[in-house]
Amino acid sequence: MTLTFPPGFLWGAASAAYQVEGAAQEDGRTPSIWDTFSHTPGRVLAGDTGDVAVDHYHRFREDVRLMAELNLGAYRFSVSWSRVQPTGRGPAVQRGLDFYRSLVDELLGAGIQPVVTLYHWDLPQELETRFPSGSAAGGGWPERETAERFAEYAGIVAEALGDRVEFWTTLNEPWCSAFLGYGSGVHAPGRTERLAPLRAAHHLNLAHGLGAQALRAALPARAQIAISLNPAVVRPLSDKPEDLDAARRIDALANRVFTGPLLRGAYPSDLIKDTASITDWSFVRDGDLAVIKHPLDALGINYYTPSLVSAATDKEGSPARHDGHGDSAHSPWPGSEGVAFHQTPGERTEMGWTIDPTGLHDLLMRYSREAPGVPLYITENGAAFDDKPDAEGAVHDPRRIDYLQAHLAVAHQAIADGADLRGYFLWSLMDNFEWAYGYSKRFGAVYVDYPTQARVPKSSARWYARVARTGELPAV
């Protein structure tokens, strides 16, 4: 049976500045923590960097034409903070802002709605390094001032683009910034600490709240202000109390550390107990929680794969980690390092992530309940496969079509079950710099031949273009 999506459902694709732009040193841009990290030997596979990426900074006109050919209704991209405010403090660089104005104008001219993410992990390096009040290891998100700087930056971008962009998100996946950046160290800035990720999580929450206030003050009333989270779907290995407790702990550290303050104005009491040996949370100041609970016009959900957890038993020791967070001797779960992650059964993508669309349905229903009245968007969903051009240069990726089909089918089901889901953004428009995996993982609907920068729509792009045009999911 063909599934029909509601009229007005937004069909989009997503990207992020450091993953696609390149032009790392042009027009006044200074290094972000990802420039520093990728240029540090051993941090990114094969020594790959975002110096050139897919050269979107120079090819955005061609890329927007491609988006129009693919019938996209919206394009979600992020702004590189150090391109518009090189030191993370003080005056903006006009040439940096001009790039985003040109991109937005190109999109609007093609009838594509721009969706701006203000922060997709590329903190200006200066805000990590030059921090008189920071720890010996550095400044960055564990420091409160970073949240204040973010609000200033949000105001700058809102002033520059507010007359033509209606859909804004503050942060992309703050969990990754806090826990992979400052806990396991597999993301920039690569710190491996226990207190820093918790402080970072709070200051990211605060940055969202202060940033949302700055956006509200600068933008017309019609503007929508949202955040994109990557909520974990945490499943216990068994019904044993210790496994249920492991799932509760990971749910607190992955999800409720953000949604507690964002949606309810409080950190969960079980999280505070679980982390009591690390912190008393005194870095949360009076008034912070009210700021963080700024009303959301929409909630963005990014989903890839579920997690299966159990208590680690002494006999077996802690099993090999299969949580898809990369290889690190350091845990991204402060206070709950003992929890064991297991490989969920089923077919996997090139990331090693199990394909399980039921997790997306779970998330949409959960956040419909937890954020009543707040429209939901899937701001990322997609998969990496081993895509290669055939002899004629065409790229056939039937597994990606199956992946998208299966996830869109459960999204449709969630709407039928009452979720107020308004749109879907495929990750990603094009193959790009996949963080610690460099260019080795291809998430794009469009294939990029890196040596020539040629763009070749894969068969999934053609398939998605039809879904976007008709609003219908063909029967399998």
Residue 381, annotated ligand binder?
A: no
Of residues 313 through 372, those in contact with ligand PNW by CB under 6 A are: 324-325
Q: Which of 455, 448, 464 shows the shortest CA–CA distance to 403?
A: 464
**By C-beta, is 269 or 358 nearer to ligand PNW?**
358
Q: Does 423 bind ligand PNW (CB under 6 A)?
A: no
Q: Which of 301, 266, 290 is nearest to 374 (CA)?
A: 301
Among 30, 85, 146, 172, binds ligand PNW (CB under 6 A): 172
Which residue out of 173, 350, 392, 472 is catalytically annotated? Answer: 173
CB of 84 within 8 A of CB of 153?
yes
Query: Nearest residue by C-beta to ligand PNW?
Result: 325
**Stretch of 154-162, 168-176, 213-221, 410-418 lying at the interface with ligand PNW (CB under 6 A):** 168-176
Distance separating alpha carbons of residues 441 and 349, to the nearest angstrom: 10
The reply, when asked if residue 126 is annotated as ligand binding, is: no
Binding mask 375-414 for ligand PNW (x = CB under 6 A): -----x----------------------------------
CA angle 415, 268, 299 (to 5 degrees): 30
Of 232, 242, 204, the C-alpha closest to 120 is 204
Give the residue, chosen from 169, 170, 259, 302, that forms a contact with ligand PNW under the rule CB under 6 A: 302
Mark whether 173 is an active-site residue. Answer: yes
**What DSSP element (H or E) covers 358?**
helix 358-370
Structure tokens at 176: 């990754």
| Residue 120 is labelled as binding a ligand | yes
The residue range among 141-149, 171-179, 188-196, 409-417 that interacts with ligand PNW, by the rule CB under 6 A, is 171-179
Q: How many CA atoms lie within 13 A of 40 on its CB side?
A: 15
β-strands 167-172, 113-119: how paired?
parallel
Q: Which stretch binds ligand PNW (CB under 6 A): 44-52, 169-177, 266-274, 397-405?
A: 169-177
Task: Say whether 432 counts as a known binding-site residue.
Answer: no
Binding mask 15-34 for ligand PNW (x = CB under 6 A): -x--x---------------
Residues 216-255, interacting with ligand PNW (CB under 6 A): 230
Measured from the CB of residue 179, what is the shortest distance to ligand PNW in angstroms? 9
Whole-number minimum distance, CB 357 to ligand PNW, in Å? 16
> To the nearest whole angstrom, how small is the minimum distance from the Cβ of residue 443 to ligand PNW?
6
* Number of amino acids touching ligand PNW (CB under 6 A): 13
Smallest distance from ligand PNW to CB 475, Å: 29
Residue with smaller CB distance to ligand PNW, 17 or 289? 17
Cα–Cα distance, 21 to 19 (Å, whole number) = 6
Rank residues 124 and 324 by Cβ distance to ligand PNW and give the closer one: 324
Query: Helix H segments across 165-322?
Result: 174-175, 181-182, 195-218, 241-251, 257-259, 269-274, 288-292
- Whether the CA torsion 186, 189, 192, 193 is positive or negative: it is negative
Please state whether 17 falls in left (phi above 0), alpha (psi between -120 and 50) or beta: alpha
For 216, phi then psi, to 5°, come to: -55, -40
Check if the beta carbon of residue 141 is closer than 8 Å to that of residue 178. Answer: yes
Nearer to ligand PNW, 255 or 284 (CB): 255
Q: For residue 304, say whether it is annotated as part of any ligand binding site.
A: yes
CA dist list (Å): 126 to 208, 248, 313: 20, 37, 43
Burial code of 14-46, b = ≥16 C-beta within 10 A, e = fewer?
Answer: bbbbbbbbbbbeeeebbbbbbbbbbeeeebbee
Least distance CB 373 / ligand PNW (angstroms): 26
Q: Which stretch binds ligand PNW (CB under 6 A): 172-180, 259-267, 276-284, 395-403?
A: 172-180
Query: 324-342: b or e for each residue (b if 16 or more CB lie within 10 Å)?
Result: bbbebebbbbbbbeebbbb
Q: Which residues are annotated as a binding site?
A: 19, 120, 172, 304, 427, 434-435
Query: Residues interacting with ligand PNW, by CB under 6 A?
Result: 16, 19, 172-173, 176, 230, 302, 324-325, 380, 427, 434, 443
Catalytic residues: 173, 380
Q: Which residues are annotated as a binding site for substrate?
A: 19, 120, 172, 304, 427, 434-435
